Structure 1
């Protein structure tokens, strides 16, 4: 029997749901499993996952605007502001004015930030190799390919609707 608003009673579903373990958001527990491999390396150097993500992103360009950095790292503006402040206090990044717009800041990784990256990189790459050995090189390549194309495919489908 349905409720007056037409919805099924609690515990009753109009359509069967997939098994909870096959829910894509729940499969993102893989992110947690992967990060468990890397957290000790970062923790040992007193850096958070999101700080590391920002530093790594800053190695991809000479400098970036905060908006570019937020988009690249998938970190919200307010969170990024706090992260940048902490990284700047540790002198791992520097900020400079945009040449065409003095109100906009350009953020760059500092020499100290590059040294931190260089210190962590061999440990990080060793973890990647270990993960690759556990799941196999072919499966690792498939994983990169599938996860890399997922956001674009979802955006394309969304745009069709």
Structure 2
């Protein structure tokens, strides 16, 4: 006998997809005026926070597949939002850094992004917001032992 599946209203994968859409809707609205995608925003945010990174580390921290980052880097370079250079020691290693133009996009939208985060904290409560992030981190295979 096959075990009964939980109701779709209590299905973790479905709940996560629904929650993602709820979280991303205001971010998509914010990004509509920037000319960059959600994924490009993540790349710029990670570079703004961490500085120059190699492509593998950047892909991991921005939650992107490496081939997707490789394609995206071309677009971001053409837009003047990142620079891409070879490592002086390991010539196979590519390093990516945000440009002042890329940083300007982050800076110009940081207040709105902070308001969006504050809205989530208001909806959930500050403690629940932090607990949710902690619980989601438990499901992140990159953070598990």
- Deviation beyond 6 Å, 4+ runs, structure 1: none
Q: What are the within-5 Å matches in structure 2 for residues 1-161 of structure 1?
A: 14-28=2-16, 29-151=18-140, 155-156=144-145
Structure 2: which 5+ runs fail to align? none
Shift of 1:138: 2.0
Structure 1: which 5+ runs fail to align? 1-12, 157-161
Shift of 1:152: 5.6
What does the per-residue CA deviation read over 1:49-73, in whole Å, with 9 as the maximum and x for residues that have no partner? 0000111111232311111111112
Residue 96 of structure 1 aligns to a residue in which SS? strand
Shift of 1:20: 1.6
Distance in 2 separating the partners of 1:153 and 1:76: 13
Moved more, 147-156 or 15-24: 147-156
Distance in 2 separating the partners of 1:108 and 1:139: 34
Shift of 1:17: 1.2
Considering Cα pairs closer than 8 Å and 6+ residues apart, tell me whether 1 or 2 has the greater RCO: 2
Residue 99 of structure 1 aligns to a residue in which SS? coil
Shift of 1:123: 0.5
Aligned-residue CA RMSD (Å)? 1.8
Distance in 2 separating the partners of 1:154 and 1:31: 20
Using the size of structure 2 for normalisation, the TM-score is 0.90
Using the size of structure 1 for normalisation, the TM-score is 0.82
Moved more, 36-45 or 136-145: 136-145
Shift of 1:27: 1.2
CA 1:92–1:154: 2 relative to 1, 3 Å: closer
Residue 20 of structure 2 aligns to a residue in which SS? helix
- Aligned residue pairs, count: 144
